[in-house]
């Protein structure tokens, strides 16, 4: 098929196809901006040290972490794009089936869908580059000392920008084609659906494996501290444990949403006495994996946000205790010591919080798209129920149950696991500000053997020793509650907005659709 023939066919469609095109372009633009921002942080060199008001950008050891955090923001963007690619699926399938009947091969049908998505992705990449360069100009605000809040004076390399401009459209096009793998269109428009099995409890095993891997970090660290080595094996082992633990917990949470959805549906089907609850229960049991697709980005964002909140509390408490110990010991030695405070660490974790907030906003937008797509793809079924006498209010309440019921336990599990994860991975061995200072008279032979864990005061010829106690770290229930409450409130708001599509999609004329 010639490109000039394929292009008009790919761009043809109704308002849903146009909405899918625009939303896919928006997702590509957001992903491009996130990748360009990550590449910009990595492009900061040593000659620009202390050029920025944010110390996380001035420290060379922290810049890779900031860039990695921005890179993680592409996960909800990709989920958003995947949700957008499903909009108007029934109408697109009918159009592609008609093309098959006209003589198009399966390969040509896939090429048509790929051309539509790639055009939207290219438009989004161009818009993302435009937004990035416009933001560099608008956000470039150096202070009186020439320090900038953002690295607007640095550009990624030409090769990096070329890679981003090439990979984003290719990846989004491949993702769109991959979402069509479960549907095979025949010339008669017959759709073959792969049978779904009941979700198993294997995600719970992954959760336990991930938590167990993180809990092994401290014992492994202590073992290698007692048995030092000259190679990089300790760092490799602890890195593998942390990466394995975090990935296992993430996959377990996302995969566990399907099992939670099925169990919630089973409970509703068994105990509900109202038609809305019964309809929602059967729908949840019929497609439990829809929850994993819909809430995956939101669950991951909550896991990262709650883990960052717990790690921030742990870091601030530990640094404060260490600085207090140093201040008291310096006072005993007659030296001056000014604690640097914890503003640097708090600012770093604030950046993580902003990134999590943006990721949650994108995930909530994907949730709205998923709700709209669910209504539009089942509009004939909903119109049939309405024509058979089912009140519109019953359908609205059933959809609300279906959207909100799986979210509450999934959100609670995500934030609890996230806030406890740093305690398993980094536990014990902390210093407390409540120290007891004693004087120890050195022995005539070797004063270093007189006391242990001491600081020698050469002026008074005595040894100063401090007893270190474990630091007390409080769980940041306030931040965790705000994350969980915000996610649930956003889900409820998006559900209310999504119900607006129900009225326009349940007209009697929808009975003529397939």
Q: How many residues does the chain have?
A: 514
Domain stop point among 142, 176, 195: 195
Average pLDDT over residues 392-418: 86
DSSP 3-state assignment of 318? helix
CA distances from 486 to 11, 75, 76, 479, 494 (A): 38, 20, 17, 10, 12
The CA-CA-CA angle for residues 430, 432, 438, to 5°, reads 115
The dihedral through the CA atoms of 502, 503, 508, 510 has a sign that is negative
Helix boundaries (H) for 333-391 = 343-377, 379-387
| pLDDT for 291 | 62
| pLDDT for 451 | 45
Is the per-residue pLDDT at 455 higher than 70?
Answer: no
How sure is the predictor about 450, in pLDDT bands with cuts at 50, 70 and 90? very low
| Radius of gyration, CA atoms only, the chain | 28
The CA-CA-CA angle for residues 336, 329, 458, to 5°, reads 85
Assess whether 51 and 183 both reside in one domain.
yes
Assess whether 463 and 347 both reside in one domain.
no
Assess whether 140 and 222 both reside in one domain.
no
Assess whether 17 and 155 both reside in one domain.
yes
Domain stop point among 142, 170, 195: 195
**Which of 72-76, 117-121, 412-416 shows the lowest mean pLDDT across its residues?**
72-76
Question: pLDDT tens for residues 134-162?
Answer: 988 888 888 777 788 888 888 888 999 99
Q: Which residues contact 197 (CB under 8 A, 6 or more apart)?
A: none
The dihedral through the CA atoms of 253, 254, 255, 257 has a sign that is positive
Residue 324 included in any domain = yes
Residue 367 included in any domain = yes
**Which of 404-408, 433-437, 463-467, 488-492 shows the lowest mean pLDDT across its residues?**
433-437
| pLDDT for 472 | 66
Q: Count the domains in the chain.
A: 3
Question: pLDDT tens for residues 420-430?
Answer: 888 776 644 34
| Better-predicted residue by pLDDT, 386 or 268 | 268
Assess whether 50 and 78 both reside in one domain.
yes
| Better-predicted residue by pLDDT, 286 or 448 | 286
| Better-predicted residue by pLDDT, 303 or 84 | 303
Going by their DSSP bridges, the two strands 454-457 and 436-440 should be labelled as unpaired
Domain interval for residue 166 = 1-195
Residue 472 included in any domain = no
Percent of the chain residues past pLDDT 90, beyond the cut:
4
| pLDDT for 162 | 93
| pLDDT for 165 | 92
Assess whether 132 and 210 both reside in one domain.
no
Average pLDDT of the chain, as a whole number: 75
Residue 305 included in any domain = yes
DSSP 3-state assignment of 419? helix
Average pLDDT over residues 68-94: 72
- Point out which residues pair with 455 in neighbouring strands: 464
Assess whether 448 and 410 both reside in one domain.
no
Question: pLDDT tens for residues 7-37?
Answer: 666 666 666 777 778 888 888 898 899 899 8
Helices 3-11 and 106-138: crossing angle in degrees, nearest 10, is: 70
Assess whether 376 and 447 both reside in one domain.
no
| Better-predicted residue by pLDDT, 123 or 466 | 123
Average pLDDT over residues 386-407: 84
With b for 16 or more beta-carbon neighbours within 10 A and e for fewer, the 416-426 pattern comes to ebbbbbbbbbb
Is the per-residue pLDDT at 201 higher than 70?
Answer: yes
Run of H or E including 463: strand 462-467
Whole-structure pTM value: 0.74
Q: Which residues contact 489 (CB under 8 A, 6 or more apart)?
A: none
Contact present, 165 and 129 (Cβ < 8 Å): yes
| pLDDT for 149 | 80
CA–CA separation, 25 and 57 (whole Å): 30
| pLDDT for 3 | 64
How sure is the predictor about 263, in pLDDT bands with cuts at 50, 70 and 90? confident
| pLDDT for 453 | 43
CA distances from 200 to 105, 208, 289, 335, 459 (A): 38, 15, 11, 63, 69
Assess whether 276 and 351 both reside in one domain.
yes
Assess whether 100 and 130 both reside in one domain.
yes
Assess whether 271 and 362 both reside in one domain.
yes
Domain stop point among 153, 177, 195: 195
φ, ψ for residue 103, nearest 5 deg: 115, 0
Residue 50 burial (CB count, 10 A): 12
Percent of the chain residues past pLDDT 70, beyond the cut:
76
Assess whether 305 and 182 both reside in one domain.
no
């Amino acid at each position: 098929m010639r490109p000039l023939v394929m292009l008009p066919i790919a761009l043809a469609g109704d308002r849903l196809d146009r909405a899918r095109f625009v939303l896919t372009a928006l997702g590509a633009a957001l992903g491009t901006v996130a990748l360009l921002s990550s590449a910009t942080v990595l492009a900061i060199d040593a000659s620009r040290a202390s050029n920025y008001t944010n110390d996380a950008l001035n420290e060379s050891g922290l810049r890779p972490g900031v860039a990695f955090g921005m890179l993680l923001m592409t996960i909800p963007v990709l989920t958003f794009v995947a949700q957008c690619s499903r909009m108007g699926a029934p109408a697109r399938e009918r159009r592609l089936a008609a093309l098959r009947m006209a003589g198009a091969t399966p390969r040509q049908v896939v090429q048509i869908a790929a051309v539509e998505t790639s055009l939207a992705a290219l438009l989004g990449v161009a818009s993302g580059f435009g937004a990035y360069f416009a933001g560099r100009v608008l956000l470039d605000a150096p202070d009186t000392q020439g320090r900038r809040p953002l690295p607007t004076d640095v550009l990624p390399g030409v090769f990096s920008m070329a890679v981003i401009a090439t990979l984003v459209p290719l990846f989004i096009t491949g993702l769109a084609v991959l979402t069509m793998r479960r549907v095979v269109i025949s010339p008669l428009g017959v759709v073959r659906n792969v049978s779904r099995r009941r979700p198993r409890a294997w995600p719970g095993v992954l959760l336990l494996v991930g938590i167990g891997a993180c809990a092994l970090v401290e014992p492994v660290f202590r073992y290698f501290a007692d048995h030092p080595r000259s190679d990089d094996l300790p760092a490799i082992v602890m890195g593998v444990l942390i990466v394995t633990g975090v990935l296992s917990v993430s996959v377990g949470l996302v995969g566990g949403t399907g099992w939670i959805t099925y169990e919630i549906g089973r409970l509703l089907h068994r105990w509900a006495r109202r038609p809305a609850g019964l309809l929602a229960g059967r729908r949840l049991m019929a497609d439990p994996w829809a929850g994993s697709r819909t809430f995956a980005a939101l669950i991951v964002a909550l896991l990262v946000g709650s883990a960052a909140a717990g790690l921030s509390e742990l870091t601030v408490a530990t640094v404060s205790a260490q600085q207090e110990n140093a201040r008291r010991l310096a006072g005993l030695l007659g030296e001056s010591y000014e604690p640097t405070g914890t503003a640097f660490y708090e600012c770093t974790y604030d950046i993580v919080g902003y990134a999590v907030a943006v990721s949650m906003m994108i995930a909530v937008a994907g949730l709205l798209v998923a709700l709209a797509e669910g209504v539009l793809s089942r509009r004939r079924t909903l119109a049939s129920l309405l024509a058979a006498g089912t009140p519109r209010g019953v359908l609205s309440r059933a959809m609300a149950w279906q959207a909100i019921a799986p979210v509450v336990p999934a959100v609670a599990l995500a934030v609890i696991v996230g806030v406890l994860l740093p305690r398993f991975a980094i536990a014990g061995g902390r210093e407390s500000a409540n120290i007891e200072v004693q004087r120890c008279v050195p022995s005539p032979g070797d004063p270093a053997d007189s006391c242990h864990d001491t600081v020698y005061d050469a002026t008074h010829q005595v040894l100063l020793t401090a007893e270190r106690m474990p630091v007390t770290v409080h769980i940041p229930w306030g931040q965790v509650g705000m994350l969980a409450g915000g996610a649930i409130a956003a889900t409820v708001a998006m559900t209310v907005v999504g119900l607006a599509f129900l009225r326009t999609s349940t007209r009697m004329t929808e009975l003529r659709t397939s």
